[in-house]
Structure 1
């Protein structure tokens, strides 16, 4: 067998090289089999109090005890009803019970006494502000204002009252005049139309007169300009002869 062995490196004896390689390989296999993992892959430890859950068992026992007690009381009531004929409590003659009535009455009396004491203190205390002095100062200021002012006090209100009375009187007069002039409305309208026509005629006549006057003035102005031009020409001719 050692003759057919092919070593990696050249050697003098194939037999010895095979034996050495085989021992190295066996040692390597033993080390691999006996090697410990770096990561702990074992199952974690189990704690008894996490699996047992004594609190949950205690609550369940309490619940069952309450149910058992209720069932027992209900059974006793049912047995009592079966043994007796049964009765209905329809009596409503209940007496009113006081809930600390005396204490509440004392508290009410105490509060009322305190309120009366506060009221007495408020009634007896004197004010710090003097209203009479304020009134005197105000009257004094009003007198000064009246002496300085241009118009007397209340003049505006008096004028307003007068204006209102005048306006009312005018309104009454207008109403009366309207009532009196209602039958004369037609005659007044005719007179107004006639007045309008006369006014229009007068306007046309005045316009025509103004136009005539302007024409006359224009003609006069032309004649004056012509005379002035003749005089200028004569003077110029005289000067030319002299030279």
Structure 2
């Protein structure tokens, strides 16, 4: 019984009532699908001056005309370079000037003046060292040394003599004697 059709109102024939209710439902669904909207949701029409954007087109044309003018100038320069047989104007006719040149020149002049003053002061001073006194002191010291020495000083040629000194040599070499100049008085 749970599978049989249950109408909302009491009816004499359930089969016919089910068929009529199904037809009514199908008609309702058809009307719903064919129904037109009452509210206009298409949106407003865009004005022509907003669609066309004349200012943007004008700016683009100006930019293109500037590019074309620059291209013509470059083409004429390239043509002049080609016709000039390789002569290139690459000279810079301007001089580099430092913003700090005056200050540096003043500082250099000041340092130069200070150095000149120092040189003048040094050249005007007399030496405080007495060379003559030093030489006399040295001569006196030499005389005293000669006076108190046991033997008189000899010349260097007489002091040298031949003396043989043996050194041990390693690294597979045989012992050999090396002669050097030494005093024999020892």
TM-score (structure 2 length as normaliser): 0.34
Larger radius of gyration: 1
TM-score (norm 1): 0.27
**Larger RCO (CA under 8 A, 6+ residues apart):** 2
Which structure is higher in helix share?
1
